[in-house]
Amino acid sequence: MELQGKKSIILIEKMYNDYEFIYPLYRLRETGADTFIVGPEAGKKYEGKEGTSFKSDLAAKDVNPAEYSVLVIPGGYAPDHMRRDKAMVDLVKNMYEQGKIVAAICHAGWMLASAKILKGQKVTSFIAIKDDLVNAGANWTDEEVVVDKNLITSRTPDDLPAFMRTIVSAAQKL
């Protein structure tokens, strides 16, 4: 297993993009990473845009970033809800500052902007939030997957295979 012994986080909030949540969740688990679903509240059920639902394992306020290697933020409307929770934003910022992998797809760039970690970073996202990321100081580009230090970004569900290959490869080096 590629990530045996590593711990990862996937963030959750209501209205997540089902594909951008489920694909990374199961891909990380199949690599052997001990993967936790983290939301604003522990043990709460969150529903995706297409109707799937998952329960959070932990509340963001209870997570020690030092114990984890990877944090994945799915898109959909969830990032707009996540960014309203200080503990969720702080978790992203702390993971990034500790050199852990922070990966965001589609609209998840909103969380990166709220965490104030975009200044000078090369990133991509869904085209609709390009201006938000540029205004937060990012150098935006239209590519399948972009890596800048420990930040990994992708545009849409179509990019999920490349996004996850890149995350797994980067996590193996930690």
Q: Would 88 be classed as within a structural domain?
A: yes
| pLDDT tens, residue by residue, 116-125 | 999 999 999 9
State the catalytic residue, choosing from 106, 136, 138, 145. 106
Q: Edge-to-edge strand order for the sheet containing 151-154?
A: 58-59, 34-39, 7-11, 70-73, 101-105, 151-154, 145-148
Q: Would 55 be classed as within a structural domain?
A: yes
Q: Would 97 be classed as within a structural domain?
A: yes
State the catalytic residue, choosing from 39, 107, 133, 153. 107
d(CA 162, CA 157): 10
Domain encompassing residue 161? 7-172
The per-residue pLDDT string of the chain (174 residues; one tens digit each, 9 = 90 and over) reads 688 999 999 999 999 999 999 999 999 999 999 999 999 999 999 999 999 999 999 999 999 999 999 999 999 999 999 999 999 999 999 999 999 999 999 999 999 999 999 999 999 999 999 999 999 999 999 999 999 999 999 999 999 999 999 999 999 988
Domain total of the chain: 1
Burial 143-155 (b: 16+ CB within 10 A, else e): eebbbeebbbbbb
Q: Would 37 be classed as within a structural domain?
A: yes
The separation between CA 14 and the C-alpha centre of its own chain, rounded to angstroms, equals 15
Would residue 70 show up in a list of annotated catalytic residues for this protein?
Answer: no
Q: Of 111, 58, 52, 46, nearest to 85 (Cα)?
A: 111
CATH number of 72's domain: 3.40.50.880
Q: Would 1 be classed as within a structural domain?
A: no
Instruction: Determine how many CB atoms are found less than 10 A away from the CB of residue 173.
Output: 7
Q: Of 164, 161, 19, 149, nearest to 95 (Cα)?
A: 149
Q: Would 2 be classed as within a structural domain?
A: no
Indicate the pTM of the whole model: 0.97
Would residue 106 show up in a list of annotated catalytic residues for this protein?
Answer: yes
